[in-house]
């Protein structure tokens, strides 16, 4: 894959940012000693890219609570679809918060006071997305779970105004939409593609997403980070569908209208919802920079999963106790669908410190400080 001038400039900016982060951390005596941003909690909505274990106790085919998932995570397999940290794990640390517990495992009020993760593998914006995996928690149900958490916080804090202020100062991260394509629009057993053009489907999704974000706002949230869909055309499962193992521009073309619609919708929501701030994370652009010049980020394997079977290690995803690759830091993809911890850390740091070319109109650090 060749890289145009725009991607080259983005790569240079990301590399410079990485150097600055390293110098800053060293000067502060390490990231863990840096002054935390004054955010009381992080609330997470999404799918398997940020799920931390909500599917573990569901009758679901979408689970990752077994080795080698979690092989590089201190707690071992937890239900994270990764070898280690997800994007929101790294964001929590950057915000000076503990790792956010999954909603299904948050057993105390003290835990949810610092946030909760409602994300569920195979979940989508649409309730019927991901149905092939049976059990999952769609975005609509995740929002109902958040509403229950807000009520729990109000009961714990006592004063309604204090509880509302706590939720309003918290960060909400939303990363969803991939399954509405992979496990709905592109799935052969769904008729969605025959009913909607790519633009019509994007319009449908974003209308629903805007209504859902408004519900989260009505529950008390005010600071939103909303991620676009990443480079799905280059994930190992899609590459494996080509005999040559190539990326699919057609697949990335399907999601382009969605990402464009999300950005426009966030601007409209920010203008119409008093006190709300919305930041868009351009996950696709960051992925394009990594895939365009992987060596610049320390990667040298971009076309296959670290754990999987078949062409591009993407025809069958990571099975229980399957030996993964040894040098996971060099791989972009962990399994047939998900990035490695190393990529997740890159994305999270760009979300937190990046410029308006990747996170706009402000980054997470600036959003947290408002």
Q: Are 158 and 108 in contact (CB under 8 A)?
A: no
**How far, in Å, CA of 51 to CA of 80, rounded?**
6
Residue with tokens 């999954």: 102
**How far, in Å, CA of 116 to CA of 36, rounded?**
19
In whole angstroms, how large is the CA radius of gyration of the chain?
19
Catalytic member of 47, 60, 237, 338: 338
Nearest CA among 141, 125, 121, 52 for reference residue 88: 52
Catalytic member of 104, 227, 335, 353: 335
Residue with tokens 């009758």: 59
Is 48 in the active site? yes
Q: Are 21 and 349 in contact (CB under 8 A)?
A: yes
Is 252 in the active site? no
Check residue 330 and give left, alpha or beta (phi > 0: left; psi -120 to 50: alpha). alpha
Is 338 in the active site? yes
Give me the helix-helix angle, 283-292 and 341-353, nearest 10°. Answer: 120
| Beta carbons within 10 angstroms of residue 8's beta carbon | 15
CA distances in angstroms from 120 to 269, 284, 311, listed in the order given: 25, 21, 27
Beta strands at 277-281 and 223-227: parallel, antiparallel or unpaired = parallel
- DSSP assignment of 98-138, as one string? PPPPBGGG--SHHHHTTEEE---TT--SSTTTTGGGB----
Catalytic member of 47, 48, 293, 303: 48
Residue positions annotated with a catalytic role = 48, 335, 338
């Amino acid at each position: 894959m060749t890289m145009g001038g725009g991607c080259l400039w983005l790569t240079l900016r990301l590399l410079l940012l990485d150097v600055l982060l390293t110098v800053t951390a060293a000067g502060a005596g390490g990231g863990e000693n840096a002054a935390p941003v004054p955010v009381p909690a992080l609330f997470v909505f999404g799918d398997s890219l940020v799920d931390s274990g909500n599917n573990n106790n569901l009758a679901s085919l979408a689970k990752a609570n077994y080795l080698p998932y979690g092989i590089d995570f201190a707690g071992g397999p937890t239900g994270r679809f990764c070898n280690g940290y997800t994007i929101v794990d790294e964001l929590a640390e950057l915000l000076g918060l503990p790792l956010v517990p999954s909603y299904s495992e948050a057993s105390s009020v003290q835990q949810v006071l610092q946030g909760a993760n409602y994300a569920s593998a195979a979940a989508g914006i649409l309730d019927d997305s991901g149905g092939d995996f049976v059990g999952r928690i769609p975005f609509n149900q995740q929002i109902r779970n958040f509403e229950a958490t807000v009520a729990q916080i109000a009961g714990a804090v006592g004063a309604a105004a204090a509880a509302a202020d706590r939720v309003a100062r918290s960060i909400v991260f939303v990363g969803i939409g991939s399954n509405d394509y992979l496990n709905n629009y592109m799935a052969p057993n769904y008729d969605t593609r025959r009913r909607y053009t790519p633009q019509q489907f994007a319009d449908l999704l974003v209308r629903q997403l805007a209504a859902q974000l408004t519900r989260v706002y009505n529950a008390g949230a005010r600071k939103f980070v909303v991620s676009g869909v990443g480079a799905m055309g280059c994930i190992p499962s899609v590459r494996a569908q080509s005999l040559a193992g190539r990326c699919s521009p057609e697949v990335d073309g399907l999601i382009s209208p969605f990402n464009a619609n999300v950005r426009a919708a966030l601007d409209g929501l920010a203008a119409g919802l008093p006190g709300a701030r919305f930041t868009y994370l351009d996950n696709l652009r960051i992925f394009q920079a990594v895939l365009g010049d992987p060596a610049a980020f320390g990667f040298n394997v971009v076309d296959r999963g670290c754990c999987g079977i078949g062409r591009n290690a993407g025809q069958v995803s990571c099975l229980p106790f399957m030996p993964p690759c040894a040098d996971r830091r060099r791989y972009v993809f962990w399994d047939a669908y998900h990035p490695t911890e190393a990529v997740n850390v890159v994305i999270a740091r760009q979300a937190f410190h990046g410029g308006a070319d990747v996170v706009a109109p402000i980054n997470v650090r600036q959003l947290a400080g408002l």
